[in-house]
Amino acid sequence: MAPTSFQEPTDTHNHDHLVKSTDSQHPANLICTLCEKFYHLGWVAGTGGGTSIRDNDLVYLAPSGVQKELMKPEDIYVLSIAQQKDPKNRIYLRAPPSLKPSQCTPLFMAAFTKRNAGCCIHTHSQWAVLVTLLLETRPLNTNIFEINNIEQIKGFGKGFQKQGNLGYHDTLRIPVIENTPHEEDLTESLETAMDEYPDTYAVLVRRHGLYVWGETVHKAKTQAESLDYLFQLAVEMKKLGIPWLSDIA
C-alpha cells in the first residue's frame, strides 16, 4: 500500500541518528539481524513477512517490499506511539527515502498497544499456512489451533501480565483469523482475536501466516521458533495419523 498520507518529518537530516548505532542490540540493527535469520528459516521468502521492535515509546519497523536478508539499518522506519492520534494518518519520526511503510504496521501496533509487546514478528512460514489449511478442512473447519502434551509448549508464557510459562499438559491455543485482500484490513479481526484470547501471544492468519509477539525481542523470537516447531510437528503428525490433542494425565 502506498503511504497515502503520512507527514514527512521536518528534520532535514531525516532523523538518521535514530537508526544509526554501533550497538548490535540497537533495534535498527537487531531487526536486520533477525530478518536475515528468518530468511534462512524460510519465514520471509520473496519480501513476505516482517519484524518490528518497540523501545519505550519508539517503534522500529522493517519497510515494505524489501529482500529481508539484505535489509540495512537505514531502511528502517521509526514512529512514536504517543504521536499516533489518527490511525489513518501515521506520523513517522524517520522514513527512509524511496521505500514504503509496511502494510503490517497497524498489526504490529496492536501488539504494542494492546499487549505492551516489545517485539512482534510476522512470518509466511509454510508450516503455519499448512496448519490453517488443515484446520479449514471439514469436518474440522475451525478457527483455533490446539495442541497439548508436547514439551516445546513450555516455550510459551502463560499470558499477558501473568507470571511463568505454560506447562507440559497445558493446551496451547492459537486463534486463526481469515485473510483479507489488504493486509491492513486484518487489524480489526486481529484485535478481536486478541480480545477473545487474552492470553495468546500469537494469531494465525488463514492461508497467509503468523503474527507472534513477546514482552522482549528474546521472547518474541523464541516464541516464534517454538510455534514454528509445533506447526511443523503438527503437519508431520497429521501425515502419520497422530492427533494433536491427547489424554495423558
Q: Name the residues annotated as catalytic.
A: 151
State the cell numbers at 127. 508450516
Largest CA distance in the chain: 64
Q: Is the CB of 143 or the CB of 149 nearer to its own copies?
A: 149
Q: What are 177's strand-pairing partners? A: 205
Q: How far is the CB of 117 from its own copies (least distance, A)?
A: 17
Among positions 27-66, residues that touch its own copies (CB under 8 A) are 42, 45-48
17 is in an annotated binding site: no
**CB neighbourhood size of 60 (10 A):** 25
169 is in an annotated binding site: no
Burial class (CB in 10 A: 0-12, 13-18, 19+), 173: middle
Could you give the C-alpha distances from 185 to 76, 166, 174, 190, 227, in angstroms and in order?
23, 31, 20, 9, 24
Q: Which stretch binds its own copies (CB under 8 A): 89-97, 113-121, 194-202, 206-214?
A: 206-214
Report phi then psi at 237, rounded to 5. Answer: -60, -45
Query: Does residue 162 bind its own copies (CB under 8 A)?
Result: no
Peptide bond between residue 96 and the one before it cis (omega within 30 degrees of 0): no
Could you give the C-alpha distances from 11 to 35, 51, 249, in angstroms and in order?
28, 26, 62
35 is in an annotated binding site: no
182 is in an annotated binding site: no
Given 87, 168, 171, 198, the residue binding its own copies (CB under 8 A) = 168
Contact mark string toward its own copies, 132..161, x via CB under 8 A: -xx--x-----------xxxx--x------
DSSP E strand stretches across 95-230: 119-123, 144-148, 171-177, 202-205, 209-214
| Residues 231 and 131: beta-carbon distance below 8 Å | yes
Given 29, 102, 105, 223, the residue binding its own copies (CB under 8 A) = 223
Q: Is the CB of 81 or the CB of 133 nearer to its own copies?
A: 133
Q: Which stretch binds its own copies (CB under 8 A): 13-21, 53-61, 106-114, 235-243?
A: 235-243
Query: Does residue 228 bind its own copies (CB under 8 A)?
Result: yes
Binding residues for Zn(2+): 122, 124, 208
* Contacts with its own copies, residue ranges (CB under 8 A): 42, 45-48, 67, 124, 126, 129-130, 133-134, 137, 149-152, 155, 167-169, 179-181, 205, 207-209, 218, 221-226, 228-229, 232-233, 235-242, 248
